[in-house]
Structure 1
Amino acid sequence: MTLSRIVVVGASAAGLTAAETLRREGFTGRLTLIGEEQHPPYDRPPLSKQILKGEWQPERIALRPAEALDGLDAEWLLGRKAVSLDVAGRTIELADGVQVPFDGLVVATGVRPRRLPFARELDGVHALRDLEDALKLRDSLRSVPSVVVIGAGFLGAEAAAVARELGCPVSLVDPLSAPMVRQLGGDVASRVASLHRAHGVDVRCDTGVTGFTEDRGRVAGVRLDDGSEIPAEVVLVAIGSVPAVEWLRDSGLPVGDGVLCDEFCEAAPGIVAAGDVASWVHPDHGRIRVEHRMNATEQGMAAARTLLGRRLPFAPVPYFWTDQYDVKIQAYGRPCADADFTVVSGGPDGGPFAGVYGQNGRITAGVTWNMPREARALRAQVIERAPWPRPAAAAANG
């Protein structure tokens, strides 16, 4: 297939990387990037950390300087929302009615915050997905209000840590057993809970939220399913996200929990997906969708190469990190709750440590707590599916 015009829908990390890869790999045709936000591409992980804390100003999170974006020789349609796709007609319709034609398409529209089913618009209730969200929440924390964070995954745990470091009274609420238990399993998640409690956070796990109380249109508290209520001047709802595929529902493109792609990130001839929105067939893990920053970059490159006919199965070792207080947690592979877990370096109850997860006698994932050098070594063991480590006593006895 000869491609003369490629359109990238989604102007964040995955979309930008795809565009850069297309140019680097020799595509000289017309290139268009469509982005719903007004901003040029920026990095999202700092939103819940450095931006929220006020350590960085917005210009610092730009992914590329202006001259690098100009060097792409691309048409930028920022502040423009894609609302529908005609696969057969090879056109994208924007919210203002403009039709954008394409020969090749990269879908990189990311995710949107999940909403509470009972929630309605109240002052003081926030989501955190884009730069405007982060700046609005940052402004609300300046008065050191009482804060309730609903959802103790990556985003919620990081935001709770920042709010606490700013001096706010913070409660962290989640229906699961511990913060980040889905991502890290029970052993490490219990340590995350202890970390937050040591910094003064009121951690309420195994607890659901049933509603808000309000005072003249502003949130005043959060009602829990145990009948109690937590006073709150600011609430952050961080209960996960959903892939931004609503504009594709009637397109004929296969969608479910994301854009459904094959192992090459292709959803249909001449159409690929990358980043948080892409659900693809990983050679080792089956169908997965990964919402982590490194995956956005790697998949943006892989999808672009597929579009250009350089098809290789996309088989990364998943990687994620989180910064909370003075702790950096890094993980390779896909930790899961039913995997075995053991500490292989350091101590499990205090200070830095490294641990591995495994199934069927093989290492499937690794995690480190303030041990960045060990993280790289664990990555190699995950790639090799290294044998499960022997207990120290057994190893000493040969």
Structure 2
Amino acid sequence: MGAGVVIVGAGLGGVRLAENLRQAGYSDPVTLVGKEPHLPYDRPPLSKAVLRGERGPVELKSREWYDDNHIALLLDTEVTSIDLDGHTVSVGSGETLAFESLVLATGLDPRFLPDDVLEGQEATSVAELGGVHVVRTADDVSALREELRDGVRIVVVGAGFIGCETAASLSTLGAQVTIVEPAPSVLHAALGREIGARVEKMHTDRGVTVRTGVGVTGLTVGDGAVRGVVLDDGSTLDTDLIVIGIGSIPITELAKSVGLTLADRAVGGGISCDSGGRTSVPGVYALGDVANWADESGEFGRRVEHWNHTVEQAKVLADVIAGTEKAATAPAVHYFWTDQFDVKIQCLGTPAADDDIHVVDEDGEKFLAYFSRDGKLTGVVGAGRAGAVMKMRKTVADAPPIEELLQKN
């Protein structure tokens, strides 16, 4: 029996990889190392059902499952260094773990506002300021929930998916929520202004205040806690709490320490990989939010932070490591979703903010829209139109001329 696989990161990618390795017949040791003390859980529910207190974190597998599948699960454990020559990693306790294959599934850290927004204030670090929250881990959500009360004033900085989902959940709980976003609309970077405006109306109709086209230039502080958010239009929003949702940073410190090639920030950064998850060092792989995989041609890389993308990567990488790699197939159509209030918004394909948008079905908050670029279909986005979106998967993969598609509607 060989040294097996050490997976650094016990999130969705790491757990699915361990599962797929066993399904592929891989019998050598598999060790999963996680920084958090909790059993590995699914992150998407955190900003929704978990934040609303409707349930606890959704565990990906039971403790018994790891034992039954002979997967060593090390929780509350951080990998501190990698010895490529000795094929070992060291953890915080001083223990070393041997590996034949090493997988980095280290994920992301949330991005905070720069500390210079505190210039002239009594505090020096945004991350350590009272009343400042992010939504990335189960502990983050628990800390935010402890400060909630009916009517609490909350400014959500950033109107991407996490910001909008969090704002919707907090508003549902009775908070007075204001979203601040420098782009022209919510979800602008992902879905463009027209679709963003529809989502924005969904929020304002339910009492959320949305301030787009303005950025944060400062925070006011009192007694070690945030008291206000200063905007670049000169106004100040008095607040009790702020939630920062302005993106995340790939956790690449371990990758850098051993000289792995990193991707350019223009394509999302992260660890550069081929289409099978192999990094620039033989025997070292990466997957999930931290990984930047090439396509089957080896020419295109882009880091993608979607649940389904990570699941697909885990299947491919398991076959690579287990030696059961299949012939290259067409890449899966990208799919992601967001739940805000009682509306599910789904997306297939690779729509971009500057694509042409064609709304083909609309009924109040429900709609279906096609995205096109250079006359070809690039994606389908629907709100409250689950069936209509999902039946377009093959069509999106085929990327037909948009005019041809519109004539059928």
Q: TM-score range by the shorter chain?
A: over 0.9
| Contact 2:150 2:174 (C-alpha < 8 Å) held by counterparts | no
SS at match of 1:287: coil
Task: Describe the superposition over 1:351-397 as per-residue Cα deviations: whole angstroms up to 9, x where unpaired.
Answer: 322111112222111111100001112222111112214487x779x
Q: 2:306 aligned with 1:307, yes or no?
A: no
Alignment partner, residue 294 of structure 2: 281
Of 87-96 and 368-377, more deviation after overlay is shown by 87-96
Q: Is 1:259 the counterpart of 2:266 in the alignment?
A: no
Contact 1:264–1:311 (8 Å) recurs in 2: no
Tell me how far 1:248 sits from its aligned partner.
2.1
Give the structure 2 partner of residue 88 of structure 1: 85
Distance 1:169 1:359, change over 3 A: same
Distance 1:84 1:313, change over 3 A: farther
Is there any run of 5+ residues in structure 2 with no aligned partner, and where? 116-124, 264-268
Computed over aligned residues only, the root mean square deviation of the Cα atoms, in angstroms, reads: 1.9
How far is the alpha carbon of 1:282 from its aligned partner?
Answer: 2.4
| Separation of aligned partners in 2, 1:368 and 1:47 | 23
Equivalent of 2:351, from 320, 335, 340?
335
TM-superposition CA deviations, 1:209-243 (whole Å, max 9, x none): 01211111111111111111001101101110011
1:1-398 mapped onto 2 (5 Å cutoff)? 4-58=3-57, 61-118=58-115, 119-120=125-126, 121-256=128-263, 257-267=269-279, 268-283=281-296, 286-309=300-323, 310=325, 312-313=327-328, 315-347=331-363, 350-390=364-404
1:265–1:313 CA distance, 2 compared to 1 (3 A): farther
Q: Return the alpha-carbon distance in structure 2 between the equivalents of residues 174 and 3 of structure 1.
A: 51
Partners of 2:198 and 2:341 lie apart in 1 by 13
Q: Number of aligned pairs?
A: 390
- Describe the SS at the equivalent of 2:301: strand
Q: Output one character per residue of 1:89-117: Cα deviation in whole Å (capped at 9) or x when no partner.
A: 32212233322221011211111101211
Decide whether the 8 Å contact of 1:264 with 1:312 is kept in 2: no
Asked whether the equivalents of residues 3 and 98 of structure 2 are also in contact (C-alpha less than 8 Å), the reply is: no
SS at 2:308 equivalent: helix
What TM-score does the superposition give when structure 2 sets the normalisation length?
0.91
**1:299 Cα deviation after fit:** 1.1
User: Quick check: 1:213–1:220 contact (8 Å CA) kept in 2?
Assistant: yes
Which secondary structure state, in structure 2, belongs to the residue aligned with residue 355 of structure 1?
Answer: strand
> Matches of 2:327 and 2:179 in 1, distance apart?
42
Q: Shift of residue 313 of structure 1? A: 4.7
Distance 1:211 1:91 in 2: 45
Task: Give SS of 2:182's match.
Answer: coil
Q: TM-score, normalised to structure 1's length?
A: 0.93
Whole-Å separation in 1 of the counterparts to 2:342 and 2:94: 49
SS of the residue corresponding to residue 184 of structure 1 reads helix
Shift in Å at residue 26 of structure 1? 0.9
Q: Deviations over 1:267-310 (max 9, x none)?
A: 13222211111101124892111111122222112112112231
Stretch moving more, 85-94 or 292-301: 85-94
Q: Which runs of 5+ in 1 are unaligned?
A: none
CA distance in structure 1 between the partners assigned to 2:357 and 2:101 by the alignment = 44
- Does structure 2 conserve the Cα–Cα contact (< 8 Å) formed by 1:17 and 1:300? yes
Could you say if the C-alpha distance between residues 391 and 63 of structure 1 is closer, same or farther in structure 2, counting changes exceeding 3 Å?
Answer: closer
Report the secondary structure of 1:373's partner residue. helix
- Single out whichever of 373-382 and 43-52 deviates more from structure 2: 373-382
User: Could you tell me whether the CA contact under 8 Å between 1:212 and 1:219 is conserved in 2?
Assistant: yes
Distance across 1 between alignment mates of 2:248 and 2:153: 25
Give the deviation of 1:311 after TM superposition: 5.3
Q: How far apart are the structure 1 equivalents of 2:318 and 2:103?
A: 7
